[in-house]
A and B are shown apart, each in its own frame.
Chain A
Amino acid sequence: MRSRRALSTVIGAVFAIIALTSTVTYISYSMGILNNYNQSVLTKNQQLSDVNKEKFQISSVTVPNSKLNITVANTGSLPINFTKIWVQNTTTTDWVRSYTPTNNFVAPGGVLTKIGQNIPVYINSANSYNVKLVTSRGNTQQFNINSASVTPLNIQLLAFPSTVPSGFKSELVMVIINNSTSTLVNVSPNNPTLTINNVVNDSPTCVSSGTTPTQYATIAPGTTAIFTWDITVTGTGGDSCTASFTTPLKGGYAQALTSPAIKPTAVSLSSTTYSQNSGVVTNDYTAFRWTEGNTWNTDWSFLGCTTIDFQVTLSNNNQTAGGYKLWLSKNTQIFFMPTTTPPNGKVTPTTYYLVNKTTLSPLGITGYVDNSFGIPNQGGIATLTFGADLPGDNTQTISSCNNNPPTGLVTGIAYYGSIVVYGKFTQNSGDNNGGNYAQTIPFLAVIAK
């Protein structure tokens, strides 16, 4: 039987092919459009990612010759191109300018300096400025110049310690946390106003030193700066001193601050407070001197087996006023102990007692009369000479290697020494109304050569 494909089948196939071709064409076109759109989305994501990756830090700002000199560190992973620098004088109204910096490119990890040197803006130190840097990706960072911000900063005042012996120093500490979004530059504090609370009417004092440091070049957002002052206070009986500010920072925001009260305590010499006041006499270690009879020397190495005299400089830090002195006892001495066992096997001290005076060429001493010399209270300084073999004696302590065994300070032996101070705090040498006082001052390591 002969079979023939019907004509309708052919027509249907033609239509089917047309329909399929149209559908495939449309789908292909749609896929192409979607692909382009997808590419745009990816590009946009990449741009947004780059914006987030772009990071820079304003590392310093200076104003040499009234011109801006900004240093920026690229801390991100992409190169940065600075397209604009905005400068607003915030002291005057409506003064805003924008400029295009010439040196504007910085590679990742690099540092770009001298931004702002080419723009025609001269910084007036009496004014405050807000400066903003803009990158090509639209990121910005800004900072203030000569302004401790127009908003209050987080500033705290502390005193370490808050209770000090009369005449000693407490450290006033100003802690500034830059809680603004701007980098502050050239930040320096005003001087504190010191207020004395005189409780017992004994003329307390409160004196401030200068500021340390005098200025911070920059304080980045979130970072901390610390200024300190040494506050010397005197007084007794609950007197106190407080430091306060109405405007803590120069050109800054007015915000009242008051420090904790700094309370001076009197140095008393009772048995119960002896320990805490044992540092009332201090030694200037750099003033140590010795002589073999010709000149005074400052070295720690001196001649052994030779008659030697010593000088030290002591300070009386007792702040009790009223003309009191530390009258020195004739038992005041300096003694040395060997750090190794000497040849004779006996570890014995070599002692030099306080003398009235020493003469050179030839070496000679005048014995010290008990309680004949006083070091004034409230910082009195005196240079004392030691050389006598006994308290108040006119005879030198002898060091000799001709004896058997050798005596005194022997060549080749290292020694450590201490100053032993005996005395009394009275107004006059013969008074007996003060307190006796004694103190050992760790001395120096020396060696006999």
Chain B
Amino acid sequence: MKRVGSSRRGLSTIVTAGIMLSAVAVLGSAVVSWSNGNLKVFEIALSNTAVNSTNKITENISIENIAFCSNCGSVNSKNVTNVTLTNTGTVSVKITQIQLNSTAITSYYYSKNSPYSSSSCPPPSGASTCLPATILPKQSYTVSASLKSPTTWSSQKPDTITVTTARGSTFTTQAAPP
């Protein structure tokens, strides 16, 4: 006797459905994993960028005083500029470079006994005057920037002093030697 109104799925339909489900599950899992991974990467990048940018805008250096030294190292050498920097921001600042009239300083004056150094930093004894140096908030640091002999600073001519931090901030001022 034949049943009227009843239907039966075919085997092919079931197989197809299984294949489709498997494909959707696999592809969906892959897409979700990929997007989650990307989002994590973006999160980390965004976090780093935000932290760096925040620190960069938070750091602040005041070029507090500039003293041109005539007899540092040798008499009337006129090649040392003492630049006193004060951290007026709220985060530590690492000073990586100082420039005098766009010339990067690589030599620093220490004392009469061990006048100059461009490699041994900190100096053999006494307070360091070289770079790089990290300045804590509210602290000051004096950099004794030395021009390479026979270059000297010129009296009554303005010099441009530029300080660069590890985060890429620059601070600039001008001063005229006596």
Interfacial residues, chain A to chain B (CB-CB below 8 A): 7-8, 11-12, 14-15, 18-19, 22-23, 25-26, 29-30, 33-34, 36-37, 40-41, 43-44, 47, 83-84, 86, 88, 90, 93-94, 96, 98, 132, 134, 136-138, 140, 150
The stretch of B53-61, B96-104, B158-166 in contact with A is B53-61
Q: Does B70 contact A (CB under 8 A)?
A: yes
Q: Chain B residues near A7 (CB, 8 Å)?
A: 17, 21
Do A26 and B39 touch across chains, with their CB atoms under 8 A apart? yes
- Residue on B with the closest CB to A150? B178
Total chain B interface residues with beta-carbon distance under 8 A: 37
- Residue on B with the closest CB to A47? B60
Q: Chain A residues near B178 (CB, 8 Å)?
A: 90, 150
- Expressed in whole angstroms, the minimum distance between the Cβ of B161 and any Cβ of chain A is 14
Cross-chain pairs A/B with CB under 8 angstroms, 5 sampled: A8-B24, A18-B32, A30-B43, A33-B47, A41-B57
Do B35 and A19 touch across chains, with their CB atoms under 8 A apart? yes
Q: Chain A residues near B84 (CB, 8 Å)?
A: 98
- Expressed in whole angstroms, the minimum distance between the Cβ of B84 and any Cβ of chain A is 7
Does more than half of chain B's interface fall in helix, strand or loop, or is it mixed?
Answer: helix
Do B54 and A36 touch across chains, with their CB atoms under 8 A apart? yes
Cα separation A26 to B35 with both chains bound (whole Å): 11
Do A40 and B57 touch across chains, with their CB atoms under 8 A apart? yes
- Expressed in whole angstroms, the minimum distance between the Cβ of A79 and any Cβ of chain B is 16
Cα separation A137 to B86 with both chains bound (whole Å): 10
Do B65 and A29 touch across chains, with their CB atoms under 8 A apart? no
Q: Output the residue of A14, A25, A30 with the most chain B CB within 10 A.
A: A30
Give the contacts of B81-109 with A (CB-CB under 8 A): 82, 84, 86, 88-89
Do B25 and A11 touch across chains, with their CB atoms under 8 A apart? yes
Cα separation A221 to B67 with both chains bound (whole Å): 22
Cα separation A134 to B67 with both chains bound (whole Å): 15
Cα separation A43 to B57 with both chains bound (whole Å): 9
Give the contacts of B21-53 with A (CB-CB under 8 A): 21, 24-25, 28, 31-32, 35-36, 39, 42-43, 46-47, 50, 53
Do A86 and B65 touch across chains, with their CB atoms under 8 A apart? yes
- Expressed in whole angstroms, the minimum distance between the Cβ of B132 and any Cβ of chain A is 21
Q: Does B136 contact A (CB under 8 A)?
A: no
- Expressed in whole angstroms, the minimum distance between the Cβ of B166 and any Cβ of chain A is 18
Give the contacts of B107-140 with A (CB-CB under 8 A): 138, 140
- Residue on B with the closest CB to A86? B65
Do B50 and A22 touch across chains, with their CB atoms under 8 A apart? no
Q: Output the residue of B28, B71, B89, B140 with the most chain A CB within 10 A.
A: B28
Q: Chain B residues near A98 (CB, 8 Å)?
A: 65, 84
Do B65 and A15 touch across chains, with their CB atoms under 8 A apart? no
Q: Does B152 contact A (CB under 8 A)?
A: no
Q: Which of B21, B35, B86 contacts A11 (CB 8 A)?
A: B21
Cα separation A33 to B86 with both chains bound (whole Å): 29
Q: Chain B residues near A12 (CB, 8 Å)?
A: 24, 28
Do B88 and A33 touch across chains, with their CB atoms under 8 A apart? no
Q: Does B145 contact A (CB under 8 A)?
A: no
- Expressed in whole angstroms, the minimum distance between the Cβ of B66 and any Cβ of chain A is 10
Cα separation A15 to B31 with both chains bound (whole Å): 9
- Residue on A with the closest CB to B23? A8
Do A96 and B70 touch across chains, with their CB atoms under 8 A apart? no
Q: Which of A29, A33, A88, A140 contacts B64 (CB 8 A)?
A: A140
Do A15 and B28 touch across chains, with their CB atoms under 8 A apart? yes
Cα separation A250 to B28 with both chains bound (whole Å): 90
Q: Chain A residues near B69 (CB, 8 Å)?
A: 94
Q: Chain A residues near B89 (CB, 8 Å)?
A: 47
Q: Does B72 contact A (CB under 8 A)?
A: yes
Q: Chain B residues near A8 (CB, 8 Å)?
A: 20-21, 24
Q: Output the residue of B65, B71, B86 with the most chain A CB within 10 A.
A: B65
Cα separation A86 to B86 with both chains bound (whole Å): 13
